[in-house]
Amino acid sequence: MAVNAEEQDRARTHLLAAQRLFETLEYEQALEQLSLARPFAQLEAQAVLLSLYEGLIQAESGKHEQSDAAFKTALRLRPEAKLPVVASPKVEQRFEVIRQEVERELGEAARAQAKRPSGAETSAAESHVPSQSAVEVAAVSSGRDVDDHAVRVRTWLPAAVGGGLFAGAGVAFLLSRNERSRLREDAPGFATLEDARRSASRGQTLQTVSFCLAGVGLVSLGVSAGAYLWGQKTVPRDEAISMSTDGTSAFVSGRWP
């Protein structure tokens, strides 16, 4: 930043006047000259010197809080700065204490800055965090999968059982028809009348079993159909998935088709 030569000269003039007034113990007039120099003290060295003299004047006037504040301002600009004149041991000691405080503050600030992730690291970390919309879509999809699985179990399990029962009923019916055919054809396997009676009894039993299996199978198929229709009512398919935004966030609604 370019410094205006005229302003630099004016700041130097007021600072020299403040130094002479300080040496003659005219503290109030010295503070006035420092106030006049402040707007023109664009150089760091001038700003540091101004704050150091202000701290000395306030300390000599018994205004310790104002003195500490002025010393801190100077040391924050230049931590290695030294008092421009010989001061009392008490002021010298206080100045060194404030230097240590400022150095500690600057060190903590530097460590905090070093721990802060860079822009690239922050972007990389954020890229691993799913957006709210992504989480909502995943939740909707997961819920739909669970509901569809339950519907499939309620639907296909009775249907499979019913199909198996119908198959068993068919086998039993065929066996009963076979026994009937043997009786009608007077098969050579019947040596006695008792053999024929046993065959007829087996045929009747198989026919009864066939009818029972067919009835139970029909009931199972009815249960399957009812479960399917009930599942369609309790787990309705929403409209196709849609997305909207309010300018800052995206909202996903509906179910995957």
- In a domain? residue 119: no
Q: What is the pLDDT of residues 8-23, one digit of tens each?
A: 889 999 999 999 999 9
The stretch 191-210 carries a mean pLDDT of 74
- pTM value is 0.45
Contact residues for 150 (Cβ-Cβ < 8 A; gap 6+): 231, 235
Of the residues 52, 83, 114, the one at which a domain ends? 114
Q: Check whether residue 27 and residue 108 sit in a common domain.
A: yes
Q: Check whether residue 248 and residue 211 sit in a common domain.
A: yes
CA angle in degrees (0–180, nearest 5) for 172-169-196: 20
* 171/176 Cα distance (integer angstroms): 9
Q: What is the pLDDT of residues 47-62, one digit of tens each?
A: 999 999 999 999 999 9
Q: Check whether residue 95 and residue 171 sit in a common domain.
A: no
Task: Answer whether residue 96 shows pLDDT above 60.
Answer: yes
Q: Check whether residue 150 and residue 84 sit in a common domain.
A: no
- In a domain? residue 185: yes
Q: Check whether residue 146 and residue 241 sit in a common domain.
A: yes
- In a domain? residue 126: no
* 212/224 Cα distance (integer angstroms): 18
- In a domain? residue 53: yes
The stretch 30-37 carries a mean pLDDT of 94
Task: Answer whether residue 166 shows pLDDT above 70.
Answer: no
Of the residues 85, 114, 143, the one at which a domain ends? 114
Return left, alpha or beta for 4; rule: phi > 0 is left, psi -120 to 50 is alpha, else beta.
beta
**Angle of helix 44-60 versus helix 27-37 axis, rounded to 10:** 160
Say how many domains are in the chain.
2
Contact 18, 33 (CB under 8 A): yes
- In a domain? residue 139: yes
- In a domain? residue 247: yes
- In a domain? residue 37: yes
Band of residue 165 on the pLDDT scale cut at 50, 70, 90: confident
Of the residues 59, 80, 114, the one at which a domain ends? 114
Q: By three-state DSSP, how is residue 244 classified?
A: strand
Q: Check whether residue 166 and residue 109 sit in a common domain.
A: no
Q: Check whether residue 243 and residue 211 sit in a common domain.
A: yes
Chain-centroid distance of CA 40 in Å reads 51
Q: Check whether residue 142 and residue 55 sit in a common domain.
A: no
**Angle of helix 5-23 versus helix 44-60 axis, rounded to 10:** 20
Quick one: which H or E segment has residue 56?
A: helix 44-60
- Domain hosting 16: range is 5-114
Contact 212, 205 (CB under 8 A): no
- In a domain? residue 121: no
Band of residue 179 on the pLDDT scale cut at 50, 70, 90: low
Residue bearing the bigger pLDDT, 72 or 6: 72
φ, ψ at 240 (rounded to 5°) = -55, 150
